[in-house]
Structure 1
């Protein structure tokens, strides 16, 4: 009888030990000072988690399995959460976007996602990294990138099927774009290489009255923003562009914004320039995307940024966005 009872108790203990929790446990210590709460958000789910004065947080969440975001205001990063996970988060920097290392149950999937996020935040995810190379070097670079991504998969053998499908789709879209556009984009990069004479625009309407041509700006660097009032990514760059304009005001550079809105959106452009207090040189292209300047540069998506030197030669025909610190660094490097 004692033996039977012991066996029963042993089985009960094993059963309890192997029981899958129907909630997620999250814990970690922030490196950011003064944060009182963070938020976990998913489809139809949102929960605030308190953070103590030392930056420590710990909580449980009953969620629907899937991709979620952990956020501190606008600073956020994605996680994959599944009931039963017990995750410890180690932050790499003060911002969530600096990255997170995971330990505990569920760490494998989340570390894989972090590796992929780091890849797609690097220069290896910038199409220009590939398009600027000659064919042999381009092929080698693609092989290198695919090898890195394959290595991530080899170290994560128990990924959830949802993540596997998402990952495969993202990689297929990225390399599909690179491989299908290489010839055309490489030709454009060669054609518009640094030092080549830029195409010009002539007599574009200026929001301040009159018209402006590229030749009017000769003698200064010219940073051109091709945008439209309906373009959300374009408008997202406006605050950063304003900061750059203010910081480099009075220096040897003109900031020129060219709207490619259609004629029927002319009044919308006028009002946005006024209401948003858009500075620099605000121009309205003569025939929207069909304007000669736009077509000669092969611009078919916006925003697009172009940097020219004081002689009207190309410095970068596809320059970094104002939100990218590399742009300001380039200005400084050029002595602007």
Structure 2
């Protein structure tokens, strides 16, 4: 299942199975091109393993009414389960999201979830995040209105509608928050970059002003950050390619002060180049706070006069970075 943006945990609603003749869910599926086992989970915890024989499975399970995940191989789709449901699924793993169709009791709710995924995949997330504030708000309100309108289907249970409204509030609330953060970051472009005075691996301290006259490409990272470490080989390649150009490659660690020796060891072991600095107060360092950094790695490009070229510059692993550098460092 392709997720456009993160949703903070599934919500579960408990209810008595009023008017239902069974106190369990009957779940069956015809799965083309799938493995011999499937799994149902809830918020990352195993609920039940299901055996698939020649593409067919049928099992029962007792549940609290709410959202679950149905995993087939490396893919998964959301399920809405309630005791008393007799839910039948048809799918082809080779066309996972596009092929999902439900029948039986509980099918309106689960077909709604399947269609939501397809709608999210069609959303031009990059274009939306790159749009100006007026266009974003217009598109954002249209998306929210369209999704809420889909919940007016009278076939959907009241409990499901209530749950989905809460899920949408969180999901689209996250989208709005991400855009607002991006907007604030963009506002730093073409402004004078805030300074710092940080410990330098080679000794003493260094200020941003020490590098005036050169472009400065800053990597905000930490030794514990997996995605940060994954960028290191690409950063080394970029440094090698542009070593004779008017640019300084600077890495600023936001590790805790207690991990300074760990930072020094990694620089030595990984043979990290460029200017290696250690921020004075990890996430709470003023430079980090000024750039409203909420996740790392984060890359910042500053011009020879100390102005911000891009407060959220392309990563070393992005082909876009070479295009940017080639244009600036002619």
Could you say which TM-score interval applies, normalised by the shorter chain?
A: 0.5 to 0.7
Residue 285 (structure 1) shift: 0.6
SS in 1 for 2:292: coil
Match of 1:58 in 2: 57
8 Å Cα contact 2:25-2:81 kept in structure 1: no
Question: Per-residue CA shift, 1:106-133, capped at 9, x if unaligned?
Answer: 332123223444566676778x946852
TM-score normalised by L of structure 2: 0.64
- Answering whether residue 26 of structure 2 is matched by residue 24 of structure 1, we say yes
Pick from 213, 217, 239 the counterpart of residue 222 of structure 1.
217
Instruction: Specify whether residues 169 and 22 from structure 1 end up closer, same or farther in structure 2 by C-alpha distance, changes over 3 A only.
Output: closer
Question: Per-residue CA shift, 1:287-324, capped at 9, x if unaligned?
Answer: 3345342233233x3336234277576564245789xx
Instruction: Specify whether residues 22 and 166 from structure 1 end up closer, same or farther in structure 2 by C-alpha distance, changes over 3 A only.
Output: closer
Match of 1:251 in 2: 241
Following the alignment from structure 1 to structure 2, what is the Cα–Cα distance between the partners of residues 307 and 273? Answer: 20
Residue 153 (structure 1) shift: 1.9
- Answering whether residue 257 of structure 2 is matched by residue 260 of structure 1, we say no
TM-score normalised by L of structure 1: 0.63
SS in 2 for 1:191: coil
Higher relative contact order (CA 8 A, sep 6+): 2
Pick from 298, 301, 318 the counterpart of residue 305 of structure 1.
298
8 Å Cα contact 2:31-2:56 kept in structure 1: yes
Q: CA RMSD in A?
A: 4.7
Residue 45 (structure 1) shift: 4.7
Q: Where do 5+ consecutive residues of structure 1 fail to align?
A: 1-17, 230-234
Judge which range, 62-71 or 166-175, deviates more.
Answer: 166-175
Residue 140 (structure 1) shift: 1.5
Aligned residue pairs total 296
Following the alignment from structure 1 to structure 2, what is the Cα–Cα distance between the partners of residues 286 and 75? Answer: 42
Instruction: Specify whether residues 306 and 217 from structure 1 end up closer, same or farther in structure 2 by C-alpha distance, changes over 3 A only.
Output: farther
Aligned counterparts, 1:170-189, within 5 A: 170-173=167-170, 186=183, 188-189=185-186
Residue 39 (structure 1) shift: 1.9
Match of 2:156 in 1: 159
8 Å Cα contact 1:256-1:283 kept in structure 2: yes
- Answering whether residue 321 of structure 2 is matched by residue 331 of structure 1, we say yes
Match of 1:71 in 2: 71
Pick from 205, 226, 231 the counterpart of residue 241 of structure 1.
231
Match of 1:145 in 2: 143
SS in 2 for 1:26: strand
Instruction: Specify whether residues 212 and 333 from structure 1 end up closer, same or farther in structure 2 by C-alpha distance, changes over 3 A only.
Output: same
